[in-house]
Chain A
Amino acid sequence: DTGVSQDPRHKITKRGQNVTFRCDPISEHNRLYWYRQTLGQGPEFLTYFQNEAQLEKSRLLSDRFSAERPKGSFSTLEIQRTEQGDSAMYLCASSEIPGQGKGLAGVKEQFFGPGTRLTVL
């Protein structure tokens, strides 16, 4: 399977524990995105990488959240001192880099992984 993969698929933890999720993008994709989705809502952007550089972070990404993509391939998302409000589906997506220049050329779709469902008790 050459799609985006995420591990684990499910994680149950107690409040205050740290958790780490992994995302493996499609191999030729330079961009990697993290989103969070709560029940009944659409995904909300957290952060994205181009190769190993983290280029944008949402205000949703509090100090307890950190994401890395050390070699420009897989990425990890760590949540420290988890809270019940962190319970959500964490989605990873990857894409190619769009063409150079402004405007409409080369928009690249994002391919999503199956997600990691986090439950904080």
Chain B
Amino acid sequence: SQQGEEDPQALSIQEGENATMNCSYKTSINNLQWYRQNSGRGLVHLILIRSNEREKHSGRLRVTLDTSKKSSSLLITASRAADTASYFCATDQGGSEKLVFGKGTKLTVNP
């Protein structure tokens, strides 16, 4: 079963706008990761945030984590057409080595 649930399922914005995606999960975690997947391709790791961190930045990406609410958000600022992809959050399950993915948010950035 999948632990993470991304919200929204689909998001369409104009180039230059910010995109925010949310992820909720059910069990305790050690870390949460965000991945990007272009259509029909493999996953690209974007950023990892540990359970004792509240916010992390990487370039145009900002990730927050609220363990009390079991939720995370991914913000992409100044979006580009090349950001068009599906975005997944993935969690460990309190020490398990496997990643548990949500269903993803499909982001479309219109030029």
Which positions in A face B, CB cutoff 8 Å? 4, 31, 33, 35, 40-45, 48, 55-56, 58, 89, 91, 93, 102-104, 107, 109-115, 117
Q: A115 near B41 (CB under 8 angstroms)?
A: yes
Assuming A107-B31, A107-B50, A109-B33, is B98 touching A33 (CB within 8 A)? yes
Give chain A nearest CB distance to B4 CB in angstroms: 7
Give the residue name and chain of the B residue nearest to A43 (CB): B101
A45 to B99, CA, bound (A): 7
* A110 with B101, Cβ < 8 A, contacts A41-B2, A42-B4 known: no
Contact of B103 among A41, A91, A110 (CB under 8 A): A41
**Selected A-B contacts with CB under 8 Å, 26 pairs:** A4-B42, A31-B97, A35-B101, A41-B2, A41-B104, A42-B102, A42-B104, A43-B43, A43-B88, A43-B99, A43-B101, A45-B100, A48-B98, A56-B97, A58-B98, A102-B95, A104-B30, A104-B31, A104-B52, A107-B48, A107-B50, A110-B99, A114-B41, A114-B42, A115-B41, A117-B40
Instruction: Given A102-B95, A104-B31, A109-B33, decide whether A44 and B101 contact each other with a Cβ distance below 8 A.
Output: yes
What is the CA–CA distance of A110 and B31 in the complex, to the nearest angstrom? 13
- A46 nearest in chain B by CB position: B98
B18 within 8 A of A: no
Residues of A within 8 A of B99 (CB): 33, 35, 43, 45, 110
Cβ < 8 Å to A, chain B residues 52-111? 52, 88, 90, 92, 95-104
**What's the minimum C-beta distance from B44 to chain A, rounded to whole angstroms?**
7
